[in-house]
Amino acid sequence: MKLSKINRIVFGIIGILLLSFIGILYISSKDENIDFINAVSGISSFFVAILTGIYVYTTSKQIEVANEQLFEMQKDRHLREQPLITIDDCVFEIERPRFFYTPPEDEYSFQSRYIFNANIKNVSSYLAVNIDADAEISVYKNDGQLILKTTNERINILPAGDTINLSIMFCGDEITQLYESLREQKAQLLPKLNLTFIYKNLCGGFFETKYSMYLVTKENDMTSLKMWHTKINAAYIEEKERLLELRKIRNPEHYDVQFEKIKNDFDKELGDDDSIVLKCVEIPEMFSLQSISKKAFAEKMEGHTYGRYVHSNAECCNQRGEHK
């Protein structure tokens, strides 16, 4: 209820009270059975109760307005001290395919790992803390969209003006979804890398920044891309018998010899390139920067997972039972 409306109600009650007073005064002068003092007292008590209720209501509204103003002041302070995370020097690399053994699943695979590297910088004048980087690759096909996820990366503190390198690895694309999307070479089907940063400032503000970019194959790398894609898909058929034999071997030395033979034979057919570097073309209209609530920040953090460094080699362990 607006204050002007409340004022009109109060003035109306005061007017009715004055008219009642004049009316009782007039009636009591005509009728000796009516006690003027008692009548005025009763009516006054009734109107005092009404005015008290209005006072309580208006006071509560004033408190609500004051709380809203306080909240807006706090929000304004949070926004004034807002860190801004930017990315630069983005490099997306498709590693040379290799033969892997994954101990937890006891599975063999032929695949490439995808590595994204970039420099992230805090271009504001305020410290950013608890930065969580989340990345995903959207792969578009004629029958829909597929998402390649990875673990999150954490940066505890990024001072104002500082730059730090961010490295994110995608693995597990055993069915070569990214390869297929890159070979399409259609603008509407280009794979897209989506980056999301959530972070805080020291005043209790929570923020989210999003970037998106297309991943594009350079013309001189298309030959290697097609060859690697073909070799990965063919390897599961060509090496089917040797993979079955590998699972049956119990002697560790014999196992190592067979594993290395499959790995080396696969590698010989992949040409000379060690990696393919894709062009990262930023999509300006997909950039967003917003303040988020503490609840939204906590909900996003609950869904995050982090990688763990478990082996000194870049390649997975090739002895079964190790790191299980």
CB proximity list for 224: less than 8 A, separation 6 or greater = 271, 273, 276
Residue 93 falls inside a structural domain: yes
CB-based contacts of 268: which residues, under 8 Å, 6+ apart? Answer: none
Mean confidence (pLDDT) of the chain: 82
| Domain-located, residue 324 | no
Shared-domain flag, residues 252 and 293: yes
Whether 312 is in a domain gets the answer no
Same domain, 249 and 295: yes
Q: Look at residue 129 and tell me if it is in a domain.
A: yes
pLDDT given at position 315: 47
pLDDT for position 106: 80
Is residue 314 domain-resident? no
Q: What is the mean pLDDT of residues 40-59?
A: 69
Q: Are 141 and 31 in a shared domain?
A: no
What token pair was written down for 60? 């509560």
User: Can you tell me the mean pLDDT for 170-186?
Assistant: 85
Q: Find the CATH number of the domain harbouring 186.
A: 2.60.40.10
Q: What's the number of domains the chain is made of?
A: 2
State whether 23 and 133 are in the same domain: no
* The predicted structure's pLDDT at residue 214: 94
Residues 218-255 pLDDT 10s:
989 999 999 999 999 999 999 999 999 998 888 889 99
| Residues 20 and 104 grouped into a single domain | no
pLDDT at 314 over 50: no
Total residues belonging to the chain: 324
Q: What is the pLDDT of residues 133-168, one digit of tens each?
A: 999 999 877 666 778 888 888 899 999 999 999 999
The C-alpha atoms of residue 181 and residue 218 are separated, in whole angstroms, by 14
Give the residue numbers spanning the domain of 27.
3-79
| Percent of the chain predicted with pLDDT > 90 | 42
Two structure tokens written together for 77 = 């302070």
Predicted local confidence at residue 120, as pLDDT: 94
So what's the pLDDT on residue 308?
Answer: 61
